[in-house]
Amino acid sequence: MNTTRRFFLRNGALALAGTTALPAFLTRAVMAATMEATAQGKKLVVIFQRGAADGLNIVVPWREPNYYTMRPTIAIPQKQVIDLDGFFGLHPAMASFQPLFAQGHLAIVHATGSPDHTRSHFDAQDYMESGTPGIKSTTDGWLNRALQAEDLRRAKLREAALQSSPFRAIALSPDVPRTLAGKVPALALSNVQDFAVGGRGPKPAPAATAFEAMYDESSDSLLHSAGDTSFEAIKMLRATDPAHYSPTPDANYPDSPFAKNMKQVAQLLKANLGVEAAFTDVTGWDTHQNQGGAEGQLANRLRDFSDSIAAFWRDMGPESENITLVTMSEFGRTARQNGTGGTDHGHANAMFILGGNVRGGKVYGKWPGVADEQLNEGRDLAITTDYRQVLGEVVSKTIGAQNLDLTFPGARLNSRQFLGIV
């Protein structure tokens, strides 16, 4: 941690905005103007589906006869699949993704995942988030290294270093997730409205003022800088008047924890706080038992998942142009249904990429097939695209992290192998 991360507006316009009662519209204008000068404007949103989502019932290979043989009671009937390209189709609960796909904003990569063969949730998530499958000793996360790579590129080009906002990398969670852990400071907050010292409110609580003075003038450099950034962040957030925020009227967020997180991601992105990378996760995908088919447990999960993301997209309005959103899960599930109407831990999965500059309307990746002899270890969808290939392309073409060896050490990624999604 160093002192350069202190927000550049510390003694400038924002300090003014934070300490005096500027009207909110003026604050936003001040901030927008200063941000525009520095930010590239591309923003990346990463969603982790924890628990291993069943990719084969999410993006359904409905032309594969063996899909129906292997999943006698949980397969999505051909008639109910939302067809995408005559071979793949979406789960019927994901109707809200259909227009996004048709408009060319939403792309899918199928048969992708982490090359490590672990079937352990925690190992696989850890590998996925660290970006170094099979290597436990990595201490930071891929998204943090991508931001480091961006800084390096700018330094090399002698561009002015991107003035770092405390909101540059955010996670809607109590602590910084593995994906965002590392040198670039990341801010974790579970609730935008509660992010304050001594209670929320239009004005800082008295205790907050005292704490701020202590940390501001502390000679303990480590705590001084983290404390300072915290108060910067609180002030910046307060200036956006988070209590009176409401999403775009036609953004119909479901009532769920995931939707709440997505709504807050949109809120932070729209507030011009300098967000470059945002992370959130969604749980409930570990469907070992009675996962259901067109309706049921997984269907409900998918409805919430796709409706929340679609609402987020509408909520972002014209700004969605600068957004790239990518989803991932630690591994897929077995191609065959198990004895309890569910699926067990598998291998490859499907990823969604949604964005203004995404070449959507297409399912990317080489399809390995699901005939018995085509399955990985005789039981799961095989991986044909390393997930780092997808993320590597996304980070290099959005936030400008072109040093792929830094972001994904050991993966030997090459931009020539990119799928051309973005």
Partner 1 sequence: MPQPISGRPFALGRTLTSLVLSALLPAQLLPAQAISRTSQPEATPATSTQPLSDQDRRILHLLNRFTFGPTPDEVAEIHSLGPKGIDKWFDLQLHPDRLPLTDDDHTLQARLAEFPSLNLPPDQLIGRFPSNGIIRQAADNKIPAPDDPYLYAIYSHHIQQFKEKQAKKAEEKSDKQAQQPGVAANSAPNMAAGSTMSTPSESQTGESITTAGKEAAPRKELVDNSDRDRARPRYEEVLFHSVVDLPPDKRLQRILYMPTAEFEQLNRGLKPPQRLQLTEGFNPEQRELFADLENPTRAVIFELQAQRLYREIYSSHQLQEVMTAFWLNHFNIYLHKNDETPYYLTSFERDVIRPRALGNFEDLLVATAESPAMLLYLDNSSSTGPDSKVAERQKERQAEGIAKKNTPPGLNENYGRELMELHTLGVNGGYTQKDVTEVSKILTGWTVDHPQLGGDTTFDENRHEPGTKIVMGHKFKEDGMKEGLKLLHMLATSPATAHFISSELAIAFVSDNPPQTLVDRMAKSFESHDGNIAEVLKTLIHSPEFWAPAAYQAKVKTPLEYVVSAVRASNAQVTNPQPLINWLNQLGMPLYACIPPTGYSDKANEWVSTGELVTRMNFALSLANNKLNGITTQWPSTTDEAPDQSANQSIESLQAKLIPTGVSEKTRAAVLTEVEGQSPSPSQITPQSATPKPKNYNPAAAQQQAQQQQQAQIAALLLGSPEFQRR
Q: Does 214 bind partner 1 (CB under 8 A)?
A: yes
**Using an 8 Å Cβ cutoff, are 380 and 368 in contact?**
no
CB of residue 276 vs partner 1: minimum separation in angstroms? 15
Name which position in 12, 23, 77, 410 contacts partner 1 (CB under 8 A). Answer: 77
**Using an 8 Å Cβ cutoff, are 106 and 354 in contact?**
yes
Count of chain residues binding partner 1 (CB under 8 A): 63
Q: Which is nearer to partner 1, 218 or 252 (CB)?
A: 218
Measure Cα distances from 124 to 135, 145, 314, 348 in Å: 11, 19, 32, 12
Separation of alpha carbons 342 and 290, rounded Å: 5
**Binding marks (x or -) toward partner 1, 260..299, rule CB under 8 A?**
------------------------------x-xxxxxx--
For tokens 């447990």, what's the residue? 297
Separation of alpha carbons 381 and 205, rounded Å: 55
143-151, 155-163, 223-231, 387-395 -> range binding partner 1 (CB under 8 A):
223-231
For tokens 């593995």, what's the residue? 178
CB of residue 229 vs partner 1: minimum separation in angstroms? 4
Q: Cα 362 from chain centroid?
A: 20
**Binding marks (x or -) toward partner 1, 12..51, rule CB under 8 A?**
----------------------------------------
Q: Which is nearer to partner 1, 108 or 181 (CB)?
A: 181
**Using an 8 Å Cβ cutoff, are 322 and 399 in contact?**
no
- Binders in 377-396 for partner 1, by CB under 8 A: 377-379
Q: Which is nearer to partner 1, 160 or 213 (CB)?
A: 213
Separation of alpha carbons 32 and 34, rounded Å: 6
Name which position in 52, 108, 186, 382 contacts partner 1 (CB under 8 A). Answer: 186
Q: Which is nearer to partner 1, 5 or 388 (CB)?
A: 5
* Strands of 176-267, DSSP E: 187-188
- Binders in 324-383 for partner 1, by CB under 8 A: 339, 341, 377-379
Q: DSSP letters along 305-368, please?
A: HHHHHHHHHHHHGGGGGGEEEEEEES--BBSS--TTSS--B-S-EEEEEEETT---SSEES---
Residues that bind partner 1 (CB under 8 A): 1, 3, 72-73, 77, 80, 118, 120, 122-123, 125-126, 136-137, 166, 174-176, 185-190, 195-198, 206-211, 213-215, 217-224, 226-227, 229-230, 233-234, 290, 292-297, 339, 341, 377-379
